[in-house]
C-alpha cells in the first residue's frame, strides 16, 4: 500500500490551522484539510504491513485499538497516494456513514495503532480521511442515500446523535420509513450541542442532516420521548423502536458548598454557549466572561471548556487533572498498539498558553471542598496535591492549596443514561445503562432496541457509528421478519 518505502521518504505533516492568537477572537473552525498533493504524499507513507492494526477495532479497557468500524484504511490511503480521490471516497463510504464527523473529532485510535507508530510517526490517517470527505463534498460526489423502493415498515429512532443518525441513515437506505425524535430544537445531539463549533463546524452537521432529509428521513425536534411521547404511541405506530439517547447524566462532585450557583456542569455550559452563538437562546445563564474559572477534569470536554472560556474573555482558567504530568517525549511506543503515553498540548491548551504564557492544566490536584460564602457566591476551592511527583518542590505542609475561583465547571465524565425515558418505557437497566444484548441490541421490550452510549456507556463518536450500524441490521431483520409473519398469518 502507498509508495514503496514512502514512510522512509516522507515526513508526517500536520494539517494547517488558523493562527493561535487570532482564532480565539471567533468561534470558527480552526483546522483545515490537506491539499490534495499533501494528502497524496501522506497516503504514500502507508507501509505494506502484514497486519494493519489500524483497522482492528478492539476495545481494551477504556481504550481502543484501531478503528471500531473497520475502515479500509490501507486501501484508501493507497488510492489517495495515487490521486484517486473518488475511488477513495467510495471505499471510505462503505464503512463510515459520517467521515466528516470522525475526520474532525475522532481521537484517531487508528493512528496510535499504526505499525509505524512503534518507532516513528504514524500515517496521518485522520487528516487523509478529512481530506477525502471534504474533496467528495467539493466535487458533489456525496448524494442522498435514497432507497429504490419502500418496504412498508416504519421505524422510530429516539435521539439524533451519531448512533441515532447512523441507524436512521442505514434503515432509510434499506427502504424503511424512518422518523427521528429529538428533544432539542435541532438534530445532531452532542455533535451539535456538545462539541464547540471550533472543532466541528455546525454547517457540517446541517449539511449531512439536509442530505438525510432529502433521502426521506424525517426529523421531529422539540419532542421529549417518555414525556411528550409515550411508549404505547410508538408501539402502535412503528414496527421497531431504536433508543439512542446517549449517556448524558453528568457525574457530580458533591462536596461542601456544592449548592452554589457558581458550580455548574461542563456540558451545560458548552450547550448553552453553543445555543447562544446560534441564536437559540437570548442569553446564557452560565458565563465565564471576566471570571476566574476552574475546570475540574482533564479530558476533552474540559479542554473544550477552556477554549470556550477563552473566547468569552475570561480572567484566567485552571484545569485540574488528578494525574501526574506525562513525560515530554517517549522514545518509540512501549504501549503500542495503544496510545503513546506522552505529554501533548490540546488545541485549547495551546491557545491559552499563547495568550497567558502558561498552559492551564494543573496536575496531581484533588478538590477537597468549595469555598462558598453565606450568599451562595463561590470564592475558591480547597485542594490537595497528590503524590511526590506532583509536589514540584513544595513541602508536605504546602500540599493543601487554595485556588481563587468565580466559576467552577465539572467535567468528570458521565454516569450513564438519564432515567426518565427508561422508566417511562419500562426498560430494564444495567449499571446505569439500558440493558441490551451485545449481538442483537434487543432490550427487555420486544420491539425496542438500544445502541450507542445509552447501551455501552460514554464512548467515542466512532463507537457510536459502529453501534448505529449494528442496531440498524438487528432492527431491520426484526421489522422485516415481523412484517412477513403478519402478512402470511
Q: Which of 109, 138, 167 is the last residue of a domain?
A: 138
Domain with 36 in it: what CATH number?
A: 1.10.1060.10
Q: Enter the pTM of the model.
A: 0.95
Q: Which whole number is the average pLDDT over 433-461?
A: 96
Question: ∠113-67-351 over CA atoms, to 5°?
Answer: 75
Q: Which of 365, 394, 412 is the last residue of a domain?
A: 412
Listed range (84-93, 193-202, 257-266, 398-407) with the worst mean pLDDT: 398-407
pLDDT at residue 397 in the model: 55
Confidence class for position 392, pLDDT limits 50, 70, 90: very low
3-state secondary structure of 402: strand
pLDDT at residue 47 in the model: 87
Domain that holds residue 202: 154-249+415-488
3-state secondary structure of 317: strand
Does residue 1 fall inside a structural domain?
A: no
pLDDT at residue 483 in the model: 76
Q: Same domain, yes or no, for 384 and 443? A: no
pLDDT at residue 350 in the model: 98
What DSSP assignment string belongs to 11-43? ---PPPB--HHHHTTS-S--B-PPPHHHHHHHH
Q: Which whole number is the average pLDDT over 132-160?
A: 97
Q: How many domains does the chain have?
A: 3
What does the alpha-carbon distance between residue 425 and residue 448 come to, in Å, rounded to a whole number? 9
> Who's near 248: CB < 8 A, 6+ residues apart?
190, 267, 414, 417, 418, 453
Q: Which whole number is the average pLDDT over 431-439?
A: 95
pLDDT at residue 386 in the model: 80
What does the alpha-carbon distance between residue 338 and residue 336 come to, in Å, rounded to a whole number? 5
| Better pLDDT: 156 or 1 | 156
pLDDT at residue 394 in the model: 47
Work out the mean pLDDT of the chain and round it to a whole number.
Answer: 94
Q: Is the pLDDT of residue 218 over 80?
A: yes
pLDDT at residue 480 in the model: 94
Does residue 21 fall inside a structural domain?
A: no
What does the alpha-carbon distance between residue 230 and residue 224 come to, in Å, rounded to a whole number? 10
Q: Same domain, yes or no, for 340 and 265? A: yes
460-482 pLDDT, tens per residue?
A: 999 999 999 999 999 999 999 98
Residues present in the chain in total:
489
Q: Which whole number is the average pLDDT over 222-241?
A: 96
Which residue, among 249, 278, 252, has the nearest Cα to 453 in the 3D structure? 249
Q: Same domain, yes or no, for 305 and 186? A: no
> Who's near 105: CB < 8 A, 6+ residues apart?
191, 195, 199, 200, 461
Which residue, among 240, 227, 95, 93, has the nearest Cα to 178 in the 3D structure? 240
pLDDT at residue 48 in the model: 78
Q: Is the pLDDT of residue 488 over 60?
A: no
Amino acid at each position: 500500500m502507498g509508495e514503496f518505502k514512502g514512510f522512509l521518504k516522507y515526513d508526517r505533516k500536520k494539517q494547517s490551522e488558523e493562527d493561535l492568537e487570532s482564532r480565539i477572537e471567533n468561534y470558527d473552525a480552526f483546522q483545515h484539510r490537506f491539499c490534495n498533493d499533501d494528502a497524496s504524499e501522506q497516503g504514500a507513507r502507508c507501509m505494506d504491513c502484514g497486519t494493519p492494526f489500524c483497522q482492528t477495532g478492539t476495545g481494551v479497557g477504556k481504550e481502543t485499538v484501531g478503528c471500531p468500524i473497520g475502515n479500509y484504511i490501507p486501501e484508501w490511503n493507497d488510492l489517495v497516494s495515487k490521486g484517486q480521490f473518488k475511488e477513495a471516497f467510495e471505499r471510505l463510504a462503505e464503512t463510515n456513514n459520517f467521515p466528516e464527523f470522525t475526520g474532525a473529532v475522532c481521537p484517531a485510535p487508528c493512528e496510535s495503532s499504526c505499525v509505524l507508530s512503534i518507532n516513528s510517526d504514524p500515517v496521518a490517517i485522520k487528516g487523509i480521511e478529512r481530506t477525502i470527505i471534504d474533496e467528495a463534498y467539493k466535487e458533489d460526489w456525496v448524494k442522498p442515500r435514497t432507497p429504490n423502493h419502500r418496504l412498508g415498515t416504519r421505524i422510530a429512532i429516539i435521539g439524533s446523535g451519531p448512533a441515532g443518525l447512523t441507524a436512521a441513515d442505514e434503515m432509510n437506505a434499506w427502504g424503511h420509513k424512518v422518523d427521528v425524535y429529538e428533544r432539542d430544537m435541532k438534530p445532531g445531539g452532542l455533535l451539535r450541542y456538545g462539541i464547540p463549533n471550533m472543532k466541528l463546524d455546525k454547517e457540517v452537521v446541517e449539511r449531512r442532516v439536509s442530505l438525510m432529509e432529502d433521502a426521506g428521513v424525517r426529523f421531529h425536534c422539540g419532542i421529549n420521548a417518555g414525556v411528550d411521547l409515550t411508549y404505547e404511541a410508538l408501539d402502535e405506530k412503528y414496527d421497531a423502536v431504536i433508543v439512542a439517547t446517549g449517556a448524558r447524566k453528568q457525574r457530580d462532585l458533591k462536596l461542601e458548598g456544592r449548592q452554589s450557583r457558581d458550580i455548574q456542569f461542563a456540558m451545560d455550559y458548552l450547550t448553552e454557549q453553543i445555543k447562544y452563538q446560534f441564536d437559540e437562546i437570548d442569553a446564557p445563564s452560565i458565563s465565564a466572561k471576566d471570571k476566574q474559572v476552574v475546570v475540574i477534569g482533564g479530558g476533552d470536554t474540559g479542554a473544550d471548556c477552556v477554549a470556550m472560556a477563552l473566547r468569552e474573555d475570561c480572567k484566567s482558567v485552571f484545569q485540574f487533572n488528578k494525574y501526574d504530568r506525562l513525560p515530554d517525549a517517549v522514545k518509540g511506543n512501549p504501549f503500542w498498539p495503544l496510545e503513546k503515553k506522552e505529554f501533548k498540548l490540546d488545541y485549547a491548551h495551546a491557545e491559552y498558553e499563547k495568550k497567558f504564557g502558561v498552559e492551564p492544566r494543573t496536575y496531581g490536584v484533588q478538590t477537597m471542598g468549595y469555598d462558598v460564602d453565606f450568599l451562595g457566591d463561590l470564592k475558591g476551592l480547597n485542594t490537595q496535591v497528590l503524590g511526590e511527583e506532583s509536589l514540584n518542590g513544595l513541602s508536605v505542609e504546602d500540599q493543601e492549596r487554595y485556588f481563587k475561583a468565580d466559576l467552577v465547571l465539572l467535567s468528570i465524565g458521565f454516569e450513564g443514561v438519564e432515567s426518565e425515558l427508561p422508566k417511562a418505557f419500562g426498560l430494564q437497566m444495567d449499571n446505569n445503562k439500558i440493558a441490551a444484548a451485545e449481538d442483537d441490541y434487543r432490550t427487555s421490550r420486544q420491539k425496542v432496541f438500544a445502541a450507542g452510549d445509552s447501551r455501552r456507556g460514554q464512548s467515542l463518536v466512532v463507537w457510536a457509528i459502529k453501534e448505529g450500524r449494528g442496531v440498524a441490521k438487528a432492527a431491520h431483520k426484526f421489522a422485516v421478519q415481523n412484517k412477513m409473519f403478519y402478512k402470511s398469518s
